[in-house]
Chains A and B, each alone.
Chain A
């Protein structure tokens, strides 16, 4: 689960330790409605959402300075120590993982292609050994050659050390490296048995159990090589050894990052990146609304966070067809939803859960996200851009999604609570949008007699102390919990396993807040991850989705979307479906 906001950091941190969080990308591509404002007067002929289906302003013109601004600062610029969604995109400018996603809009962009590796991973017969061959002649910015041991070292430091805490720990979860304590405690890399490097160009991953989506794991920035001699631990983010088209010129933490061209990057070895601007500059900690204004004025080229414009700029854009033609409205990997605890009365009764499903006014719960531009009304766990997504709606709540009071009343009677009942809605109090969703839900439930009280908890400890702790949930009778989930790689497994697998219910840091432990669901997940045929596998994820929705414990609100603005000076712009934002490695600027 990648973070889109710094606030998510702490909560997610706990998630990471368990590994299977989900993935994030996207497959479907569709789903965007071009409203077709039909304006032809704009300087650029591109229309709203064009960047979603094709490359806008294609150009090979070099030179200029590409300017980013960001309202916050990253957890780290170290590719091995970051869990920010935008940084998995941005870090590719200077750090090449073994595999990466095809540089193309739409479904094509969800396909993995070799980056540092010569080809996709070769799995052994039993699915427990994955082998990658490095391309020969790849150099760091100082001219030294990339060796297989550097990749091994990068994964050892990012996944097995106590120092680098910010990234996910999938490799620690899946690799067979019992007892290894990380390269800072144990300087001898030979003691790390989870990865073998028989020669300088071969990397062999040894897994505890078969895992058919391993290729997705090595597409995350943690597989970008790090030379052991150059590693300075947490300080490494200031001087990353670059393999990409750019290298760090200077980095002032929390203020400014400057990248310049890396002369030792060979485009012949790289099928996914361009090297157009002379410089790339990032300003951190800028006021979000100020960023929007500078974006609209063309003073900065992109909002690094990739989470879209603020309400004020949104209103301006909606009112002006010209501005609207310079925007894209892609899905993010996030689903925004509530979970009903099957262990808190009266939600231990499925009919009481159904009553909530029918009573919810999904237009009202969509409004806080920014209406239709902020997300499509959801009815499933997986989002439309997750591979394996299937469209279905088990609990239609009226033709306009505004709630079906009659059906809700019926369910209430079936549940034995014809006059409604009292319950609590837990929400992260420091997330204004989620609080507004809770209020909207409260108001819709009130109409059918369900009296809900909103309880706010800090997002920092949300997972460790509050909603992620079943005993706390039971004790405080938190019947409904407002949450969100985004996947780390675009497949159903990453999205689903952490939030629906009954075996992942934990005493703390629990993301299966429904406490749904359905043997059929668990079995399907196991079957899926051992299925090597991708089409077959993706069908299974759809079945899991349906099975979970049948429990009525998962209450979807919206498949999140963002409104991205592309100034006319930006060239080669398209929304990369794996990241849900512009492909930062392609951008150029018009002089």
Chain B
């Protein structure tokens, strides 16, 4: 996104409700950019499919386990319950075809201990999406704030923040994450066990990904601050903070939205990678990456155990990417 959005993008901020209503149906004379974007998005089948999957996954994650009820409980075993009776002790693989797939265990069973893969996928979805969303929020808040500051004020603030971004971008994030997560104590900051681990992972992913957002925001801000409406506001006596938050920021919502949607799948993959390397959430809490690690030893005898979490990651990341791409195309016609 190299060019600034059209000025009329302000409509997005001025009357968000109107935008939605307009999309709802009744013919309105003029169309705001938001309406146009929504129409474009609707026409993008891939993006809509992605959006459906995203919503579906989010609902599943929210309602999978406590506190919002129990999809898992409704369908069968809790995610950590072993079923040694359903495992062939001689091969360690589940008894039955396709990894023990049945009505009770729609995705089959984990080798060795016979835990229900369906329940673990759902439980893992919670972790994956929670980490991805929270980490993205951290990145977005930090990135937008610092990006706007750098772009708006220029000068030494820009130099400083830009160099900071370079430093962060050059950081060996994965190695750093492994080291940090490995060194985290059992209890800190009033958190314990997996709650603490999730907090640390969110912090690491979020804290090191902000420069991607910040760079985009900075570029946009640089050009926005020269625009007439900014001059107009300034000549009317508006202060810097007013201009940043009331004049510049609304014009940045679209790119921020697009890039956060694209950041989420990256973060899902990152969390999966950490779990795969054994520094994600701790067992017995299920996580997709953790399941993949386990699956490596049994890929020949119980391939379903690798395929199912692999597919879960693939579909989720794909859905977010499709949605993000669709959003970008819809919000920025010139980027097409």
Mark A residues whose CB is within 8 Å of B. Answer: 289, 310-312, 314-315, 318-319, 361, 363-364, 366-368, 370-373, 402, 429-430, 432, 435-436, 439-440, 442-443, 453-456, 476
Given contacts A315-B300, A439-B284, A443-B284, could you give 13 more A-B pairs where the C-beta distance is less than 8 Å?
A289-B300, A311-B300, A312-B301, A361-B84, A363-B89, A364-B113, A367-B89, A368-B112, A371-B89, A371-B90, A372-B89, A439-B283, A454-B283
Taking CB atoms, residues of chain A closer than 8 Å to B88 are: 371
Taking CB atoms, residues of chain B closer than 8 Å to A367 are: 84, 87, 89, 92, 112-113
CB distance from A585 to the nearest CB of B (A): 32
Q: A454-B284, A476-B186 are in contact. Are A311 and B84 (CB under 8 A)?
A: no
User: B102 within 8 Å of A by Cβ?
Assistant: no
Taking CB atoms, residues of chain B closer than 8 Å to A440 are: 82, 84, 113
- Tell me if A429 and B278 are in contact (CB < 8 A): yes
Q: A364-B113, A372-B89, A440-B113 are in contact. Are A455 and B283 (CB under 8 A)?
A: no
- Tell me if A436 and B282 are in contact (CB < 8 A): no
- Tell me if B282 and A364 are in contact (CB < 8 A): no
B76-92 contact mask (Cβ, 8 Å, vs A): 1 or 0: 00001110100111111
CB distance from B287 to the nearest CB of A (A): 14
Complex Cα–Cα for A101 and B134 (A): 63
User: B132 within 8 Å of A by Cβ?
Assistant: no
Taking CB atoms, residues of chain A closer than 8 Å to B276 are: none
- Tell me if B278 and A314 are in contact (CB < 8 A): no
User: B193 within 8 Å of A by Cβ?
Assistant: yes
Within 8 A of A (CB), among B275-324: 278, 282-284, 294, 297-301
Taking CB atoms, residues of chain B closer than 8 Å to A366 are: 89
Taking CB atoms, residues of chain B closer than 8 Å to A318 are: 90-91
Taking CB atoms, residues of chain B closer than 8 Å to A315 are: 90-93, 300-301
Complex Cα–Cα for A402 and B83 (A): 12
Complex Cα–Cα for A453 and B192 (A): 11
Complex Cα–Cα for A580 and B195 (A): 45
- Tell me if B283 and A371 are in contact (CB < 8 A): no
Complex Cα–Cα for A456 and B278 (A): 10
CB distance from A143 to the nearest CB of B (A): 50
B96-125 contact mask (Cβ, 8 Å, vs A): 1 or 0: 000000000000000111000000000000
CB distance from A404 to the nearest CB of B (A): 16
Taking CB atoms, residues of chain A closer than 8 Å to B82 are: 364, 439-440, 443
Complex Cα–Cα for A456 and B181 (A): 12
The majority secondary structure among interface residues of chain B is loop
**A–B pairs, 25, beta carbons within 8 Å:** A311-B92, A311-B297, A311-B298, A312-B301, A314-B91, A315-B93, A315-B301, A318-B91, A364-B82, A368-B112, A368-B113, A370-B92, A372-B89, A373-B90, A430-B278, A435-B283, A439-B113, A440-B84, A440-B113, A442-B284, A443-B113, A454-B282, A454-B283, A454-B284, A456-B282
Taking CB atoms, residues of chain B closer than 8 Å to A439 are: 80, 82, 113, 283-284
Q: Which residue of A lies closest to B194 (CB)?
A: A453
Interface residue from A311, A312, A430, A436 paired with B113 (Cβ < 8 Å)? A436
Complex Cα–Cα for A326 and B92 (A): 20
- Tell me if B113 and A432 are in contact (CB < 8 A): no
Complex Cα–Cα for A289 and B81 (A): 30
CB distance from A335 to the nearest CB of B (A): 19
Complex Cα–Cα for A315 and B93 (A): 8
- Tell me if B297 and A432 are in contact (CB < 8 A): yes
Q: Which residue of B lies closest to A429 (CB)?
A: B278
Complex Cα–Cα for A372 and B88 (A): 10
Taking CB atoms, residues of chain A closer than 8 Å to B113 are: 364, 367-368, 436, 439-440, 443
Residue from the set A363, A367, A429, A440 with the largest chain B CB neighbour count within 10 Å:
A367
Taking CB atoms, residues of chain A closer than 8 Å to B89 are: 363, 366-367, 371-373
Pairs of residues from A and B, 4 with the lowest C-beta to C-beta distance, nearest first: A371-B89, A312-B300, A315-B91, A315-B301
Taking CB atoms, residues of chain A closer than 8 Å to B299 are: 312
Q: A367-B112, A371-B90 are in contact. Are A310 and B297 (CB under 8 A)?
A: yes
Q: Which residue of B lies closest to A476 (CB)?
A: B186
Complex Cα–Cα for A362 and B283 (A): 20
Complex Cα–Cα for A367 and B109 (A): 14
CB distance from B286 to the nearest CB of A (A): 11
Taking CB atoms, residues of chain A closer than 8 Å to B284 are: 439, 442-443, 454
Interface residue from B84, B87, B294 paired with A432 (Cβ < 8 Å)? B294
Within 8 A of A (CB), among B170-193: 186, 193
- Tell me if A311 and B283 are in contact (CB < 8 A): no
Q: Which residue of A lies closest to B110 (CB)?
A: A436
Complex Cα–Cα for A253 and B305 (A): 37
Complex Cα–Cα for A24 and B297 (A): 28
CB distance from B84 to the nearest CB of A (A): 5
Taking CB atoms, residues of chain A closer than 8 Å to B92 are: 311, 314-315, 367, 370-371
Q: Which residue of A lies closest to B83 (CB)?
A: A364
Taking CB atoms, residues of chain A closer than 8 Å to B278 are: 429-430, 456
Complex Cα–Cα for A315 and B89 (A): 10
Q: Which residue of A lies closest to B301 (CB)?
A: A315
Within 8 A of A (CB), among B44-82: 80-82
CB distance from B319 to the nearest CB of A (A): 31
Q: Which residue of A lies closest to B293 (CB)?
A: A432
Complex Cα–Cα for A319 and B92 (A): 12
CB distance from B185 to the nearest CB of A (A): 9
Interface residue from A289, A312, A314, A432 paired with B90 (Cβ < 8 Å)? A314
- Tell me if B84 and A363 are in contact (CB < 8 A): yes
Q: Which residue of A lies closest to B278 (CB)?
A: A429
Complex Cα–Cα for A456 and B277 (A): 13
CB distance from A352 to the nearest CB of B (A): 22
Complex Cα–Cα for A316 and B250 (A): 63
CB distance from A366 to the nearest CB of B (A): 7
- Tell me if A443 and B80 are in contact (CB < 8 A): yes
Complex Cα–Cα for A368 and B92 (A): 8
Interface residue from A371, A402, A455 paired with B186 (Cβ < 8 Å)? A455
Complex Cα–Cα for A306 and B186 (A): 38
Taking CB atoms, residues of chain A closer than 8 Å to B91 are: 311, 314-315, 318-319, 371
- Tell me if A436 and B84 are in contact (CB < 8 A): no
Taking CB atoms, residues of chain A closer than 8 Å to B84 are: 361, 363-364, 367, 402, 440
Complex Cα–Cα for A318 and B84 (A): 18
CB distance from A198 to the nearest CB of B (A): 56
CB distance from B249 to the nearest CB of A (A): 44
Complex Cα–Cα for A455 and B297 (A): 22
Complex Cα–Cα for A412 and B274 (A): 39
Complex Cα–Cα for A453 and B197 (A): 14
Taking CB atoms, residues of chain B closer than 8 Å to A311 are: 91-92, 111, 297-298, 300-301
Q: A311-B301, A312-B301, A443-B82 are in contact. Are A436 and B90 (CB under 8 A)?
A: no
Complex Cα–Cα for A436 and B301 (A): 18
Taking CB atoms, residues of chain B closer than 8 Å to A370 are: 92
Complex Cα–Cα for A299 and B187 (A): 53
Taking CB atoms, residues of chain B closer than 8 Å to A455 are: 186
Taking CB atoms, residues of chain A closer than 8 Å to B298 are: 311-312
CB distance from A445 to the nearest CB of B (A): 12
CB distance from B154 to the nearest CB of A (A): 48
Q: Which residue of B lies closest to A319 (CB)?
A: B91
Taking CB atoms, residues of chain A closer than 8 Å to B300 are: 289, 311-312, 315
CB distance from B41 to the nearest CB of A (A): 45
CB distance from B88 to the nearest CB of A (A): 8
